[in-house]
Amino acid sequence: MKKNSSFIDALNYRRSVRIYDKDIEIDSEIVKKCIKQATLAPNSSNMQLWEFYHITSKDTLSKLTKACLGQNSAATAKEMVVFVVRKDLWRKRVKTHRKNLEKMYGEKPIKEYSSREKFAFTYYTKIMPFTYADFLGLFGYIKYAISWVTGFFKPSYRQLRTSDMRVVAHKTAGLAAQTFMLSMAAEGYDTCPMEGSDTLRIKKIIGLPYKSEINMVVSCGVRKPEGVYGERFRIPFEDVYKRI
């Protein structure tokens, strides 16, 4: 196990590890550092609608292994990180952004704000509430219809239904998860993103609220040679690269 100092080294080192060496411990503080680095991942409108649950308890790890269908990447893991989508926290995030903007720009009358400062306040006090607010999915479809009508006359953002905003929040959490896994690779640690799981049970195990959603569970440890299933395979680049 060695650190990978360059990005390309960490990228090449990272593999989805299915079997970890149970005799090698990992440093929980390093895992925590990598989670903190994950918060630097790009995310939609900087709303940061995510939470990260760092699982180190052996009892909880055992329960999560069952919820992850007993797969080896869970059963042999030393620790796990559960990436959680919290779209329901958008109001709290908007308030936090408003306070941050007031701190950045100082308390002064609105008329003294620059155009850029006014736009920032408008974005988080009007546009974000309009984008995320919904009632039983109905408001989302109204916004969706408005965007399509507007789209006949000019470019318009159309992904405004509840299901669309759910996708946005999950993409954001996925970016954080990838950042975490690359950070772990840079430290010489291994990970595996596990989608095969009973997410309802996972939510109950770690005490998540009803409106939260599991994005993915990432197991952590140090690989055994047999834990990497063969050479990395990718579809030929020419088949997926389209230059226009």
For the residues of 225-239, what is the DSSP string, one character each?
Answer: GGGS-SS-----HHH
- Sheet strand arrangement including 213-221: 50-55, 79-85, 213-221, 190-194
Mean predicted lDDT score pLDDT of the chain: 93
Q: Is 52 helix (H, G, I), strand (E, B) or coil?
A: strand
Handedness of CA 65, 68, 73, 77 (dihedral sign): negative
- As a whole number, mean pLDDT of residues 15-23 equals 97
Could you read off the pLDDT of 68-91 as tens digits, one per residue? 999 999 999 999 999 999 999 999
Q: Are 121 and 113 in contact (CB under 8 A)?
A: yes
Map tokens 């470019």 to a residue.
Answer: 155
Residue 211's pLDDT is 94
Question: For residues 133 and 45, is the Cβ–Cβ distance under 8 A?
Answer: no
Least confident range of 111-115, 122-126, 182-186? 111-115
Return the structure tokens found at 18: 């299915």
Give the residue extent of every domain in the chain: 7-87+164-225
Helix (H) or strand (E) holding 34: helix 28-38
Confidence bin at 136 (pLDDT 50/70/90): confident
Instruction: Give me the CATH code for the 7-87+164-225 domain, please.
Output: 3.40.109.10
Tokens standing for residue 133 = 């607010």
Give the closest residue to 48 by CA, choosing from 136, 148, 171, 199.
171
The DSSP element (H or E) to which 75 belongs, if any, is helix 72-75
